[in-house]
Amino acid sequence: MNLTLHVWRQRNPRDKGRMVRYEVKDVSTHMSFLEMLDVLNESLIARGEEPIAFDHDCREGICGSCGFMINGVAHGPLPGTTVCQLHMRHFRDGDVLYLEPWRARAFPVIKDLVVNRSSLDRIIAAGGYVSVAAGSAPDGNVVPVPKENAERAMDAAACIGCGACVAACPNAAAALFTGAKIAHLALLPQGQPERRRRALNMVVRMHRERFGNCTNIGECEAVCPKQIRIEVIAIMNRDFIRASWSERQDKLKNE
């Protein structure tokens, strides 16, 4: 299989950046997309050229490190799939592919396809800790949790923080990511003591990181590799409104 790649090349955050064309020959259909880029980089290094920078770690769709736009779609054309899980058998000989980094004000480009996503880490940090003494892993069913809540919490906890939801959103909103992190603990008993304070702090931090506002377009859910549903955004909004109202009432009482 032969492919034509147009890859975004940017030396550093201050560089203007540009698209560069590459011809990739004899690509095996058994390769993953990142393995195909590895082969391209080997040829670039052999020619004395700078290899293409892209994020990766586990290459098993777990860590959330990899991720960029392929023909305008975050993580590529397959639903529920990260770039590292995307294989070349899903493309055709002669395809022309455009590779670009996540485009968002809160995700400044570091180099080529690599962006700085530490803003997501700061949102998580703003949520604080869980005061319930968790200890070691408890035996099953020791803490009673309704089955529906347990399943919804596990679905939200599947978020790997890749940032695809932000990249796909026309507003560059991080509502799906933040909602997933808030909903995960909001649906479990262990997360109740700090529930409202957590929602308030994380949403405030999200806006400070210059993410856009959610307008319920749904692109985030469509490209999420873990197929997290936008219902987590509703949970986030509900908890944030309740927390804001409670804080306002407390201030009025103290005046």
> Are both 147 and 166 inside the same structural domain?
yes
Domain count, the chain: 2
- If pLDDT is split at 50, 70 and 90, which confidence band does 186 have? very high
> Are both 242 and 140 inside the same structural domain?
yes
> Are both 138 and 84 inside the same structural domain?
no
- If pLDDT is split at 50, 70 and 90, which confidence band does 252 have? confident
Average of pLDDT values for 86-106? 97
- Domain boundary among the residues 110, 140, 164 is at 110
> Are both 95 and 165 inside the same structural domain?
no
- If pLDDT is split at 50, 70 and 90, which confidence band does 144 have? confident
Q: What is the pLDDT of residues 228-246, one digit of tens each?
A: 999 999 999 999 999 999 8
Average of pLDDT values for 171-183? 98
> Are both 244 and 134 inside the same structural domain?
yes
DSSP structure string for 161-194? ---HHHHHSTT-B-HHHHHHHHHHHHTSGGGSTT
Q: What is the CATH number of the domain that holds 195?
A: 1.10.1060.10
Predicted confidence at residue 251, as pLDDT, reads 75
- Domain boundary among the residues 93, 110, 127 is at 110
What is the value of pTM for the model shown? Answer: 0.92
Q: What is the CATH number of the domain that holds 32?
A: 3.10.20.30
Asked if residues 211 and 166 have their Cβ atoms less than 8 Å apart, the reply is yes
> Are both 134 and 96 inside the same structural domain?
no
- If pLDDT is split at 50, 70 and 90, which confidence band does 174 have? very high
Predicted confidence at residue 134, as pLDDT, reads 67
Dist CA 155 CA 80 (whole Å): 13
Report the share of the chain in percent with pLDDT over 70.
98
Q: What is the pLDDT of residues 1-20, one digit of tens each?
A: 999 999 999 999 999 999 99
Burial class (CB in 10 A: 0-12, 13-18, 19+), 46: exposed
> Are both 90 and 170 inside the same structural domain?
no
Q: Which residues pair with 23 in a beta bridge?
A: 4
Higher pLDDT among residues 81 and 137, named by residue: 81
Six-digit token string for 209: 């990181």
> Are both 215 and 160 inside the same structural domain?
yes
Q: What is the pLDDT of residues 18-33, one digit of tens each?
A: 999 999 999 999 999 9
- If pLDDT is split at 50, 70 and 90, which confidence band does 247 have? confident
- Domain boundary among the residues 67, 95, 110 is at 110
The residue range of the domain holding 239 is: 117-254
Whether 140 shows a pLDDT value over 70: the answer reads: no
> Are both 104 and 148 inside the same structural domain?
no
Dist CA 220 CA 215 (whole Å): 11
Predicted confidence at residue 249, as pLDDT, reads 77
> Are both 101 and 121 inside the same structural domain?
no
> Are both 135 and 247 inside the same structural domain?
yes
> Are both 52 and 139 inside the same structural domain?
no
Q: What's the N-to-C CA distance of the chain in angstroms?
A: 72
